[in-house]
Amino acid sequence: MSEEVQDVNDADFESQVLKSDVPVLVDMWAPWCGPCRMVSPVIKEIARDNAGRIKAFKMNVDNNAETAAKFGISAIPTVLVFKGGREVQGLRMVGAQPRGVYQRAVEDALSG
């Protein structure tokens, strides 16, 4: 795992994501998911390019079913955006997306 994108799990999701003082991207993924492997380097770039403005985490849904179920994750990859302890409505991205879609979500979270 890179310094830009850290792992998060059911046990530390609240402290790492919901209590963050900056917007957070959470990449819901699984190791067997091909599109997830395509999204991973893009999320890493977004995190690096927005360092200090956002945090980025990856959550393996196979190992963290409680959080995945809580947020209704039914397809992966799914990238969620959190701000102020809540998921930002309208910014959930399901399936592999172009880099610009993730960057726009970050900008929306930072400006909103």
Single-letter code of the amino acid located at 70: K
Is 95 considered catalytic here? no
Rounded Cα distance between 96 and 93, Å, is: 8
Strands 55-60 and 5-7: parallel
- Single out the catalytic residue among 25, 36, 73, 91: 36
Is 80 considered catalytic here? no
- Single out the catalytic residue among 33, 46, 79, 93: 33
CB atoms within 10 A of CB 19: 12
Q: Which residues are catalytic?
A: 33, 36
